[in-house]
Homo-oligomer: A and B are copies of this chain.
Amino acid sequence: MEDELLKIKEDIIQGLGRFSAFAGFNKITGQIYGLLYLNREPLALGQIAEQLDVSKGNVSLNVRIMERWGLIRRFNKRGDRRDYYEAETDFWKVIRGILTERDKKEVEYTMDSVTDSLAAIGKLDAAAQTDEAVFYKERLEHMQEFGDTIAEMSRAFLALDNFRVSSLSRLGLGRV
């Protein structure tokens, strides 16, 4: 392979590794993605480990999560018992997977604690409805409203398919 291309591949792999760590995954996740994304042929687990110069165990751990989140796809070839992986190139699908599999749960979990707290305040008897309690209620309701709006926007975002996204940007969402 052309030397220059090899350098490019390496740059992208490292760049995505860095980004991946920033985005809350680990570095290897991004590197695996980068490697597969710039490979016309799918790669087997062992090949990934070899090319990235990390242990098979590490790759094994990472591909499992990546598959669950829809970052890559696993498949088999007949007469070959290795597991092959290829990158999901539909980025909207990828984002959708992460938002619904990972982020959604965590946000809901947090908002549930707000809801619970508000319910607890509501159940206080009249004597306990102090200024402090009212203040808490206001603040938590404000937080809940925000959470609801975010949830609603996420739903809207997730409902967009690729075609709609591109038409949306062509319409100039910036001037809504």
Contact = CB atoms under 8 A, between A and B. Distances in A.
Give the number of copies in the complex: 2
Interface in A1-19: 1-2, 4-5, 7-9, 11-12, 15-16, 18-19
Interface in A83-124: 89, 91, 106-107, 109-110, 113-114, 116-117, 120-121, 124
B8 A121 contact: yes
Contacts of A159: 174
What's the interface size class on A, roughly?
Answer: 35 or more
A138 B52 CA distance: 23
Contacts of A106: 19, 22
Nearest to A92: B146
A40 B143 CA distance: 15
B37 A139 contact: yes
A54 interface: no
